[in-house]
A and B are shown apart, each in its own frame.
Chain A
Amino acid sequence: MAKEVTLSGCAAAAQAVKMAKVDVICSYPIRPYTAAMMELAKMVANGELDAEFIHGEGEHAQLSVCYGASAAGARTFTGSSGVGVTYAFETYSPISGARLPVQMMIADRTLDPPGDFGSEHTDAMSCRDQGWLMGWAETPQEAFDNHLINYRVGEDPRVMLPQFVCQDGYFVSHLPGKVTLPDQSQVDEFLPPYKPPHALDTKKPVSHGPQIRPDQGVIMDLQRAQAFLDVPKVIRGAIDDFNRIFGRRYSPFVEEYQTDDADVVFFIQGAHALTARHAIKHLRGKGLKIGLVKLRFVRPFPTEEVAEALSKFKAVGVVETSTSYGGAMRGGNLLHEVRAALYDAPKRPLTTSFMAGMGGEVIPLQEFYWMAEVLAKAVKDGRVGKYVYWVGFEQAA
């Protein structure tokens, strides 16, 4: 029987990986993701999970071990945070190019310097162009679910791509939340065993990853590009099955909250959506028609869904927890994507972005109120003042 328990995001991820019957796990300690590995280590030590638990000598090795194991036909799991994520950078493209559905948990952490334990999406977002699926969880429950959904989608023969399964460090990874653990039989129904198309098999020898000429390289790139075009329908199918088997109500790409009559919305991914929902409740009490649109996958970016969802509103405030120094929008990573998605929309809302929660700070309700004020003023003025607001460090709205 499914049962409700209280788990942190890390513990929830570990439970999901265990129920996915993972074969090879490769660890290396870095806060905050490391708590998930500690859980898995215990499960292996206690005999609850039959998997090879390899102590990698660094994040680069974690990914490399998973690359080899996945090519040999094993379901793999690894994870990291912050500078650990960027230390492994070399390995990401070879893994997606080899079409190995390695799963990597990222519990976000700021990048140095100097050392900061805080959560920021910059670590994962800097890897968004490496051919991996990528999306964030808002709660430990969503984290649990996303691990299973990502294995299912990534290992689908039409996809065969690795996945970054992200959750905000601390805000999700270490804060306990209610998680409904399903029956193993439900997980087995949802997630078939991993069947690699070309495992390293001495009975059927193949060569993986030979050198290519430039005219062949472009075709390999096209293969990945095509896979990303095919992913959305696979995600939709997986979410339908997931909702049916586990009794949830996920939308595949964007989730709307209080948007029916909204003039302005926050566009957001990850943990801070939870605070935003509460801010919206209070703001609506004061008569402001505000809602929220939450992104569940940033890769593949759901262009049409985002355009359709956002073009209904007068102004959209993209709440960023990562930055791209010197970018076209002066920093807002997600704003780049949102604006691009809206470019061809018949009706375009005003858009701006908010640097909030940077360095791993909490985004308090007051900051959401301030952001709402900026959006309201933009609607009144018919224009936004800036591409990006560093919340808490700007002169009056």
Chain B
Amino acid sequence: MFDIPKEREVPFAGVTPAPVGEQPMMITGNWRTYRPVIDHEKCNLCMNCVIFCPDACWQLNEAEEEVVWNSKYCKGCLICVNECTTAALTKTYELDFEDGVVRLEKLF
């Protein structure tokens, strides 16, 4: 038997479990230079941000009747800002936020 360190183990034949809801092994929130910021007053729930986000980072909270942003994965492409029909979304520089651009604990 070969001695494979625990942290370097790879599942049999590379078959990996399917993710549920999100893939936390590939966090992409630290890619952003800009961040979409929502003004809920202006939002008419047209859902363009929800439907057009390639990373599924806008979701509708049915109970609260508002769209919710996912900072963990948002890459900052700003398609949502571009497609927003009521100018409820604006782009803001990531470093303007106190929690802006954190370095991840590991590379991937």
Contact = CB atoms under 8 A, between A and B. Distances in A.
Interface of B: 1-2, 4, 8-10, 12-18
Contacts of A208: 13-15
A210 B14 contact: yes
A56 interface: no
Most A CB within 10 A of own CB, among B9, B10, B14, B16: B14
Nearest to B19: A207
B16 A207 contact: yes
Interface in A74-89: none
A219 B9 contact: yes
B16 A223 contact: no
Contact of A160 (B2, B10, B13, B14): B13
Interface in A190-210: 197-198, 205-210
Interface of A: 97-99, 160, 197-198, 205-210, 212, 215-216, 219-220, 222-223, 225-226
Contacts of B14: 97-98, 208-210, 212, 216, 220
B102 to A, nearest CB: 23
A97 B11 CA distance: 12
A172 B16 CA distance: 43
Given A209-B15, A220-B14, A222-B4, 9 more contacts: A97-B13, A97-B14, A98-B14, A197-B15, A198-B12, A205-B17, A219-B9, A220-B13, A223-B12
B12 A197 contact: yes
A226 B1 contact: yes
A248 to B, nearest CB: 33
B18 A207 contact: yes
A206 B2 contact: no
A210 B10 contact: no
B4 A206 contact: no
A205 B16 CA distance: 9
B13 A222 contact: no
A215 B18 CA distance: 22
A219 B81 CA distance: 43
A226 to B, nearest CB: 6
Contacts of B1: 226
A198 B13 CA distance: 10
Contacts of A209: 14-15
Given A226-B1, A226-B2, A220 B16 contact: no
Nearest to B20: A205
A206 B16 contact: yes
A222 B1 CA distance: 10
